[in-house]
Structure 1
Amino acid sequence: MAFKQSVQKFTGKINEVEIGTGEKAIKLGGENVMPFYSFDGSMGQRPKVGMEILDVYPEAWCDSLKGIYKDVANDSVAWAKFVEEKFHPDFICLKFEGSDPNGLNKSVDECATLAKQVAQSVALPLVIAGSNNHEKDGQLFEKVAQALEGSNVLLLAAVEENYKTVGAAGGLAYKHKVGAESSVDINLAKQLNILLTQLGVKAEDMVMNVGCAAVGYGFEYVTSTMDRIRLAAFGQNDKTLQMPIMAPVSFETWSVKESIASEEEMADWGCQEERGIAMEVSTAASMLTGGADAVILRHPKSVETVNTFIKEIVG
């Protein structure tokens, strides 16, 4: 008897969310099947790969990464152009590390001016990330949203402490996309999505950051959470969970010991740069196969490898 493959059909579908403007604009989501299950239905938009840059010199980055960007790392505008022209990511994530009140404490006006300069210098879509100080990030996103009106950026991300400010400015007043950040919990993710939609932000203007971890660092919790979110979105047609997922992989993988321990400290671990790339690639691949629609990476070799991974599966 000939083999007949069974097909699992779902009633739910992930929203399509567009970021950026013009020819370089990208769409996330659109799938109605589990990750890469093209034999069951539509995979929607091809998963996207973005690259991280900072608003300050990346002092804490490993020497090999600083070497790659040595000629542009002191100028975020030049850095953005360099990344766009040399590595061709789908989007650029500008992370405002310098806005941290416990660090340089750059003013939100200064950050907004820089964001506008970067947006005007590149054609790629922009994702704006803060310093993870929720109070300062709320002020930052509000000011950046105003400065970048018309650029259709993604503000990554609104949390429970500042979602009203970020949602009102980003999603309502200035018509950007809003990222909803929760901490590896389906109920928290759902709750924040509901709060943002009750505020008036359209579900079609939202992306989720459901939490991320480097592989080996509690990643099983991330996996189970993403599985539950996607199964609820597809199988239960839960519209409060039908937003694309963006995973800031680089934020996690370049801060674990496997990536930051020098070769002098851990000689038997091998090349530090290769370790960092391996952590970033393995985490990105795991997030994509878990349901992420986009990942943010730091090393050009990671970007190249993950794009090859996507191409080999998607075609």
Structure 2
Amino acid sequence: MDALRVCRWVSGTWRPRFGAGLRRRNAGFGTEARRRPQPQASSKRKDPVEDQPFPGLLRTENLGVEELVNVLRAAVVDQKGRPGELTLLSVLPQLSQALGLGHRELQVVRAPGKEASGLVLLSSCPETASRLQRFFAQSRRSQRPTATYCAITDGIPEPSEGTVSVALKLDRMDGIDLAVPVTSPSRKDILEGVKRTLSHFHVMATGCGCALVQLQPLTVFPSQLQVHMALQLCPVLGDHTYAARVGTVLGQRFLWPATTTKPQRQVLDEALLKRLHLSPSQVAQMPLHLHLHRLLLPGTRSRDPPSELLAPVPSYFSRTLQCLRLSQK
């Protein structure tokens, strides 16, 4: 595949220091946090967990165009071929220059949602991009998952493995497009934008009332995985949009009506806040713990098996796993 580039996206930003190379074996979720030596400027050592509640999280509002391009360039994990609002799309021309592509334009082939982290597939070759899109479309039609996400949820899904199948539509509320479930959609609904969505989920580990969940979407719809986990009464940590749909009365969870529930900061109970070493005010800054961990790509020839790309989770994700004592069994 000519001119293929894959980068790791971290919650609205790109995280540097991610080594280059195509990984072909499943390396797990990379849950162990990497420790760096700390300067001993004082004999009184502060708790690094409390000092850095979300380590590794960079935000685009703190970066200039040139800085973001440099971070993007450093985040490339695999490269084949020749070497207003600040967004990924707005800096693709500069990134193309930084990667030595000249006037060849980069386009996004596959990416996680806006607030999720993980692999982003870019291509400067239209033929390669079309081939990849055909592969993903054919895989969806045959219900073969090509993307694997990992998420940390507030709550433990029951059963521990299954599928979520629900029709969704986009409904505008307070200037925001929100994914809303539709019960028994008619043919007219489908023609007007309602889409049937499907995801597989599998609980990998549990602890402290939370779960590490593997998610594989078989359809594409905005915020699909976040909505699906909310419907399981287990919203993703850091979901400040759809977690509000899950209410609790006397320890029992239930769903509020999606069409009347406005997005708001996620509310976590005191025990979970203590476990995460967070204050209530810090929860508002918690990034979405949803990470595109693995992508399958077509082989070089039609008869070749798919290859895979893996991206370890961000350091704030690893920190949360450690705080909750979640480890993949």
Name whichever structure is richer in strand by fraction. Answer: 2
Query: Structure 1-normalised TM-score?
Result: 0.31
- Give the structure with higher Rg (CA): 2
Q: Which has the higher contact order (CA 8 A, sep 6+)?
A: 2
